[in-house]
A and B are shown apart, each in its own frame.
Chain A
């Protein structure tokens, strides 16, 4: 009898243990499922982890974007590139059709832009084509170099470049690329609407020369305002536009004119490349490379045992534990994104397609917004939540654009005293004595804060901000009392123009484009202007940044410096943190440079290895 009751007790204890284990487990899984990869969008808190011990704080200044060469490169050799993703890549392998991030990592090895860019993302004459600007005619004439050939030996021609424009401008085109870049070309909109058979602003002068005339000629054109990816006409000519993106020429035998040629593809998981001996910059050093998809959970092990030599991006939250990995060098660069807190100042006027600012909005008082900026300590957020791999942001042009980011601007820094003073002076006082301030008219002030779910830090970070504001007497509540899933977050913030009036403030992130012009995010006609903010000063500065004078670099710099300063004064949104990207590279790899580090003179064809086998840890 005794024996069996002991067994029962043991059994019961086992049950309890089991429940505890399963409990912990399923919680982990929930967060993992939410870390999905959504195109270009940045979720605010991408999977970072609170490091409670706070044992190491790192700084982006300690990382170089360029690999230190350790020894001489051998002839040939192959490397393995890890594409870090928890989903297979889609396989739309052409610059003209792809829509998201995993695919472009595959494409960039075999295809490239015809024009090269400098560190500020302005076009240079170093690429496969050169150009000449004629400001009077509002036209640019491009000349493709003679030795630029497709992988099948056919020359890359002006006709191919024109063809890319014709396909993207076609009403049947199913990719997301048709936009400002195209509509600013003369005659493009008529062509798109089907009213014209040709694009009147585009003229093929000879086999290698193309002239484009613009209806809308701005300095933005010269930094990322031109579509620089030709489409091989001799291959795509016979395919109907609607079927191009699903054709074999895109999915199975993709073609480009880059340093490597696609040899074979296992859909969604790996690609092998061989070198393109005919590459226009010169024959690549490597014999070839292999690209494989690596799950975020096993990146570290794959790097340690040499399964992959390098990856496209490394989850920064795993860095502190692996900083001393001996067989790789960690390269780092400043990401072109910023996280920010936005204030809803109006709504979207769908009829006139512009923002409709409401002077009576809850957040309309700039002093209230300023106080909220002073109340939060973003430097500590960066150190405590991100080990210093994110850090306090000051302006709305991140330092990834070194010539345009103005680091002399003094943005509000954490100062709760100051925040209290500002609020007192602006008339926000606690009349009812409940510990929270009322608005100047004595009405209760409850601010609804919308924040996205995803990643382990999303919740504590949102709580931290709410507490910081509470400390200066502001009653901020999480909208609906919980974090909001990615898709509904952007729907409610207003990506389709149907803003949820319940949102007063929100936390989100922007990846800025290569062109510094912020009209697409803060212009009065931009639907992505989520704060629904406009002012004369802003309009004027944005217009000046795109004016003719702004073709002068120094002038443009000055305008955007003024704009950054202006936004620090007006605060429709305030930036919270900038972030770093880290890329570990095996020690045997030479001549490698983080691809986001624009303007370096190191190209993919120069990548080499110092020994046949990767170093292991």
Chain B
């Protein structure tokens, strides 16, 4: 298996390189640059042009690319964000932490909701319980996330006042204290929950159809014939097999973990990766755009690899050579 992993990683390298060239080219093709937003009669156009020259924005793309890639390879330097006037690694670091915690809590909520619902729904399919659950999943499919997030914010945040209505932490707390940690958690719950309630419906549906499918398989009949108890049949035979596709999917969730979600982050004023990505595209902050795309690209390549590994661990039938 190690051979497999190494081989996959080796294939990934040229993929990432190609990705970086493509992203760089596309960023260049966007109209405008980081300085086009500075049209202001109070700012001297000559100063803007001087900045362009200084930042190398007037060079042809391959020169810019070579400059950039040498920086990345030799010093691990992803460049500097024009807008934030700080290193790209630092700004991404700040946002990544926020997004990571938000996604982690969301993921936990998602599985906390999905697994019991999916199992109930699959085990007792076509009963009243199942209909309620599938009813919920349809509503979930039909509801756009950003509307649901706004409604949740309005009801739970503003009407009941149970949760803070924006930000990642209350202002004025010292990082590292227990109070700070609690405040962060408190700020996380509402965005995570509103996201989980919507995104979980996929997993519920997956699990449900997988269980219904599995329970009609021959080996289940065999298990029953052997006299295995109903709970043993479900917990050991059906559930394990039904979780396979979800486990396979888990690797890809990693990408989601760092990708962030623009809607939820915007509505809850939560500074995360999704927002950073969109705003840097809008403001033509190339160095950030490229770094984020690369990061996501690497994450999805690694995520796919991780999925394969998880699969091989949970499903002995799959052997990676």
A→B interface (CB under 8 Å): 14, 17-18, 21-22, 25-26, 29, 33, 36, 38-41, 86-88, 90-92, 97, 99-100, 174-180, 183, 224, 245-246, 251, 263-264, 266-272, 290-295, 297-298, 301-302, 304-305, 307, 485-488, 490-491, 495, 510-514, 520-521, 526-528
For residue A171, which residue of chain B has the nearest CB?
B54
Rounded to whole angstroms, the CA-CA distance of A86 and B154 in the bound complex is 17
B267 close to chain A: CB less than 8 A: yes
For residue A38, which residue of chain B has the nearest CB?
B37
- 9 closest A-B pairs by beta carbon, nearest first, are A487-B32, A179-B44, A488-B31, A25-B144, A40-B40, A36-B282, A270-B171, A38-B37, A268-B271
Asked whether, in the complex, the Cβ of A179 is within 8 Å of the Cβ of B269, the reply is: no
For residue A513, which residue of chain B has the nearest CB?
B42
- Asked, given contacts A39-B37, A292-B171, A487-B284, whether A298 binds B85 with beta carbons under 8 Å apart, the answer is no
Q: Interface size class for chain B?
A: 35 or more
Partner of B48, one of A90, A176, A510: A176
Asked whether, in the complex, the Cβ of B166 is within 8 Å of the Cβ of A528, the reply is: no
Asked whether, in the complex, the Cβ of A487 is within 8 Å of the Cβ of B86, the reply is: no
List 16 extra interface pairs beyond A269-B269, A291-B171, CB under 8 A: A39-B40, A41-B39, A91-B84, A97-B85, A177-B43, A264-B172, A269-B167, A272-B172, A292-B167, A298-B150, A298-B166, A486-B32, A510-B41, A511-B41, A520-B41, A528-B39
Neighbouring B residues of A36 by C-beta, 8 Å? 279, 282-283
For residue B161, which residue of chain A has the nearest CB?
A305
- Asked, given contacts A29-B146, A301-B158, A528-B41, whether A88 binds B284 with beta carbons under 8 Å apart, the answer is no
Neighbouring B residues of A22 by C-beta, 8 Å? 142, 144
- Asked, given contacts A21-B142, A176-B47, A179-B46, whether A88 binds B39 with beta carbons under 8 Å apart, the answer is no
CB distance from A454 to the nearest CB of B (A): 11
B→A interface (CB under 8 Å): 30-33, 36-48, 50-51, 54, 80, 83-87, 94, 138, 141-144, 146-147, 150, 153-154, 157-158, 161, 165-169, 171-174, 263, 266-271, 275, 278-279, 282-284
CB distance from B28 to the nearest CB of A (A): 13
For residue A300, which residue of chain B has the nearest CB?
B158
Asked whether, in the complex, the Cβ of B85 is within 8 Å of the Cβ of A297, the reply is: no
Neighbouring B residues of A99 by C-beta, 8 Å? 38, 83
Neighbouring A residues of B269 by C-beta, 8 Å? 88, 269, 292-295
Partner of A179, one of B47, B84, B87, B165: B47
CB distance from A146 to the nearest CB of B (A): 31
Asked whether, in the complex, the Cβ of B168 is within 8 Å of the Cβ of A266, the reply is: yes
CB distance from A299 to the nearest CB of B (A): 11
Rounded to whole angstroms, the CA-CA distance of A251 and B86 in the bound complex is 9
Asked whether, in the complex, the Cβ of A490 is within 8 Å of the Cβ of B32, the reply is: yes
Neighbouring B residues of A177 by C-beta, 8 Å? 43, 47
Partner of B150, one of A224, A294, A297, A486: A297
Partner of B31, one of A291, A302, A491, A521: A491
Neighbouring B residues of A513 by C-beta, 8 Å? 40-42
Neighbouring B residues of A33 by C-beta, 8 Å? 278, 282
For residue A263, which residue of chain B has the nearest CB?
B172
Rounded to whole angstroms, the CA-CA distance of A25 and B150 in the bound complex is 13
CB distance from A523 to the nearest CB of B (A): 10
CB distance from A301 to the nearest CB of B (A): 4
Rounded to whole angstroms, the CA-CA distance of A264 and B44 in the bound complex is 34
For residue A19, which residue of chain B has the nearest CB?
B142
Neighbouring B residues of A97 by C-beta, 8 Å? 85
For residue B158, which residue of chain A has the nearest CB?
A301
Neighbouring A residues of B172 by C-beta, 8 Å? 263-264, 272, 290
- Asked, given contacts A87-B279, A490-B36, whether A485 binds B31 with beta carbons under 8 Å apart, the answer is yes
For residue B144, which residue of chain A has the nearest CB?
A25
Neighbouring B residues of A304 by C-beta, 8 Å? 158
Asked whether, in the complex, the Cβ of A488 is within 8 Å of the Cβ of B85, the reply is: no
